[in-house]
Chain A
């Protein structure tokens, strides 16, 4: 069965520093990959997605992610974070032509002044 792992449950980082949130998946079939952000007391927002093509995907709010098939990873990065980026970030994987979709456990990013 396919699964998603986010190894870091919490990531504290200082404002204007770079950040990388890790996501690994296990799958024996082709997958599509997603990152979502959840701000406090709100629903999730889609940040970016990888369906095919270029392995470097750019999303909203200055985030980007790189699909690495050999390492089965889809890490999220931002070169300089802001206080407003404090939120929970979820990686997700879809397979079987959209029939199956699962979220990872989430990583709480805390941006410190």
Chain B
């Protein structure tokens, strides 16, 4: 079992650039979650999907953030334009139930 796969593992870019983070969930899992982790705020839920449909996006910081799940095997989190305060580790998780169970190894994002 390959687990949850995230790409890229690291991303360094300049502010103002568009950033796209990708996630492949575990096959058969109906739920997909995007989290952000920082020292200051800990783990924050950004958005989660059930059967490819966004259920709760109240954690998405602002309009610069968007997430899509075009099919059961792929999701993206996009930041446009990026800002230095977006620097964090972004995790994708999938689960057969409504609580996150299997996390990817994360994308470490640095906005200069």
Q: When A43-B93, A106-B42 are in contact, do A101 and B99 touch as well, CB less than 8 Å?
A: yes
**Alpha-carbon distance between A101 and B42 when the two chains are bound, in angstroms:** 14
CB distance from B105 to the nearest CB of A (A): 5
A109 to B45, CA, bound (A): 24
Neighbouring A residues of B106 by C-beta, 8 Å: 41-43
The answer to whether A43 and B101 have CB atoms under 8 Å apart is: no
User: Do A101 and B100 touch (CB < 8 A)?
Assistant: yes
Of A18-26, A78-86, A90-98, the segment with at least 4 beta carbons within 8 Å of chain B is: A90-98
Range class of the B interface residue count = 10 to 19
Q: Are B91 and A43 in contact (CB under 8 A)?
A: yes
Q: Is the CB of A103 within 8 A of B42?
A: yes
Report the minimal beta-carbon distance from B3 to chain A, rounded to whole angstroms.
Answer: 9
A42 touches B99 (CB 8 A): no
B residues within 8 A CB of A103?
42-43
Task: Give the chain B neighbours of A34 by CB distance below 8 A.
Answer: 99
- The docked-state distance in angstroms from the alpha carbon of A102 to that of B56 is 13
A32 in the interface, Cβ–Cβ < 8 Å? yes
A34-B99, A42-B106, A49-B99 known; 19 other A-B pairs, CB under 8 Å?
Answer: A32-B99, A41-B106, A43-B4, A43-B91, A43-B104, A43-B106, A44-B43, A44-B91, A44-B93, A44-B100, A44-B103, A45-B103, A98-B97, A98-B99, A101-B45, A101-B98, A101-B99, A101-B100, A102-B45
18 contacts between A and B (CB under 8 A): A32-B99, A41-B105, A41-B106, A42-B105, A42-B106, A43-B4, A44-B43, A44-B91, A46-B102, A49-B99, A90-B43, A94-B98, A94-B99, A98-B99, A101-B98, A102-B45, A103-B43, A104-B42
